[in-house]
Structure 1
Amino acid sequence: MKTFVKGKKYTHQEYMELSIEEMIKSISEHVDKEDPKVGAVLVDKNGAYFDKAHRGELRAGDHGEFTLLERKYPNEDLSGFTLYTTLEPCVKRKAPKRGCYKRCINARLKKVYIGHYDPDPTVSGNGARLLEKAKIEVGYYDKKYEEIIAKENAQFFKEASKRAEEEKTKEIQPAINAIENELLEFQLDDLSEQAQNELINRMGLPYRFGTDGFTTYLNRMKLIKIDEEAQTARPTGLGLLLLGKSPEEHFPQARIKLTIRKDNNEPIIKDFSGALILLPQAIEDYFEAVFPKGFTSRKSFNRDENVEASSSGVYEVVMNAIVHRDYSIEGARIMIDINDEAIVVSSPGKPICTLEQLNSFTAPSFSRNPKIAHIFFEMGFVEERGFGMEELSKFQNYGLPKPVYTFENNTLKTTIYREIDPDKQTIIKSELSGINLLQQYRRLTTKQYQELTGLSERQSRNHLKALLDNDYAIKDGTAYVWKE
């Protein structure tokens, strides 16, 4: 075996052969799968030998390129150097690790010679293209050396090729939020144009459907994944959930099941599916169709006289279930069960806060799905002024038991009671009517409220006082102002 002296020049062939000798020394850290064997050689800007390394040389699991570039020379100026590596630099690593192609870029290498492409689906040619994009020259070993490398890595290549076939129908699994994974079996055509336009319109985005600006926005929000090297763009799980034509094809658990039970009648069962951002309107419309009297959504409190107090909370609870549920639990759907006494909304997954915080209505606004929460908030579906936890906490003012949160079988259940004390029905109707008007006009005197409603001065004053007492309004002179 030839001895290489630092600072002395050797031939291109000798450097390739040395990297293969290093490759054979590689140390595997797994017992349940084969790890790739990788050897690397570094040549200085004058073409002289600098150093070598192999996988696992200094620490188990460390890649050969990482060992050579950063373990051995963390503070050395390697700009203009040339790297010989038996296997294409990796692209994707589990956070906080970085792909070896980035380490090559950070070292400001001039050229990288690659002995064999990596058949792993998370690399598969992308490593070389990313280096070229960073203006690093890429060269390749002679075929005879490629064959040696393939033989030494035969079992790893076999396993990697099998993974590549499996990845055609599965998402690549990075280490961050699973629903932000790219879905390899879906295309951008699987996203609903209606849902995308709804997103644009309700959020007031400065883009039009189909434009480069909107595509960039979707990519930035991790609703799609753009691979510039491969020139592909696909939905992520998050994008399919929010915007997909049929997200249930990949997430069957994304359906919502509504069951309405009335005495001596067959239960009414309704399933809601499709893009998540289209579900709020669909659910609201269905509620209004099924309950034309006595049950309306929070957005239409003054449409009829017989407004049910619990309606002001159920819509919020359902929206929160959509936003905060755990979408990784297969076979677990959001369930809405309605009977004459109560409405129970079941949301899959353990809450990220305590039950004590929920039941005391002091829960923080954190979400396990922050991007869904952000989009639903920007679209006006959750946490609008006057609703949410504050609204639920006021149910006792209406003569109702306060809503109750329980957790069982990996499901968070919210129970909203529907029975109401008749003595308090009048003040509830008054307050809910006033909420809608004051939200619309922002500032009203008793006289103005009287003119808008046709009520007496005394009735108008009582309505506005109810808003003041329940913290919906503040008093400014003679006017009642909506509390921002």
Structure 2
Amino acid sequence: MAKAKYTDRALMQKTIEVMNKSINEPRPDGKVPPKVGALLLFPDGRVETAFRGELRDGDHAEFTLLERKLANENLEDCVLFTTLEPCVERNPPKVPCCRRTTNARIKKVFVGIEDRDPTVDGKGIKHLEKNGVEVKMFDRDLQRVIEEENKAFLKQALKRKKETEEEDVRSPIENPIANYDRSKFSDKALQKFINESNLNYTINDESFLEYLADFGAMEWSQSKKRFVPTGYGILLFGVNPRAKFKNAVLKAHVTYGNNKIEPKDFSDALVLVPDQIEEWLKKVLPLSKDTSEFKRKDVPDFPINVLREAIVNALVHRDYEIEGAKCEIKIDNDKIIVTSPGKPLPAISLEQLNTFEAPSLSRNPIITYAFSLMDYVEEKGFGMKTFKTLNKDFGLPIPKYIFKEPFLILTFPRTTEGVKSVIDSKVIDSLSNEQLSYLEIFREHEFVTKAEFVDYSKMADRSAQRLLKDWVDDGLIESIGAGKSTKYKLKD
């Protein structure tokens, strides 16, 4: 019997279909149980599934699958898909699902979404990774489906998390700041947040302070009988965030030829920075003529919305606890570089970032939440679709992420020389501008067939075949498969 073939995405979708069969068992404590689906892919292509409550009320999907359905089978080479981060605590003699997974010697797990319940809250993923399991997250659009189906559960989980957090396990950014009060917030920043989030408050409403406390920007102090800003609150709304967090700044540098524009620091409250950046970019980027309308007008020669998106991502997802490390943007004739302190979180790979479809996983969920309300970012995701279409929409090269301790670096090439800076190959220097434009096809599409390459490049069939062969021989691209099913991809 031929081995069945599935894509990772197809299995994610099937796991969600299984999740939707979950049985909502009655609970006297009022807790909303999550909908959870689990799927196991065997090396021979066989697939087994389970959902929460399938065989007995309250039984977890992973337990049902691994222990009740497949207890006597060897699962060592299987891949597990689960819509919710596996649990880490169960009342004895029950075994947590993350431990059942590692006990089964499963080495690869696809997780739908994080479980924000304080008993889990990232610890399930950490347990798997600590025990040598490769963890991948579901595609972002599929995560949204899971979140929507589990809206009530996630709301309760976040509330429980807030109620059980203790200062001694939180970072300085999460903790309330002693001797700080409402006066440390910028009225301008608060008003901007209210306006752009469409909130029905005034900045001095007590109910507004309660709202800020609900999502972690403030905290009620029983001893002081007032709301106290947290570190996240100061970063988002503070009059002078750098007074408390010295690295809370975006440093900007521009150099064109021998002309160097005065460096600029952006160190206001985070909610004010995106608009400040946009105005600055309009001033420093060279202008070109836009003739798409009847009246010609001067426009920046690089799309402002793309750079704004890159910078907002850098500010939102950076690691604020790395001392001395700051966000930066550097612009020169050949490229634009955006750097952000902190390596990608373990469940997000550089490869995923460079497909510009990174899944939902945030280092700073409170900042991400505030920015999502203001429509600056997609909540907890990396909204980078504009990066992927740069070549098609603007004729510009595709950007690339690399990690160089301690910075995540995003480079936007603007010229041929700029492209050379993001492709690690000795062959790149010998390519013509036209060939470099053909190479962008492989940077925009992960896999390309010969027919697709001919279609995208508009080359003659034989010329395209010859170029593909030369690039494979030179180690610039690699071929996968054989015959008409052969696909080509940029070599890592």
Instruction: Give the TM-score taking structure 2 as reference length.
Output: 0.47
Larger radius of gyration: 1
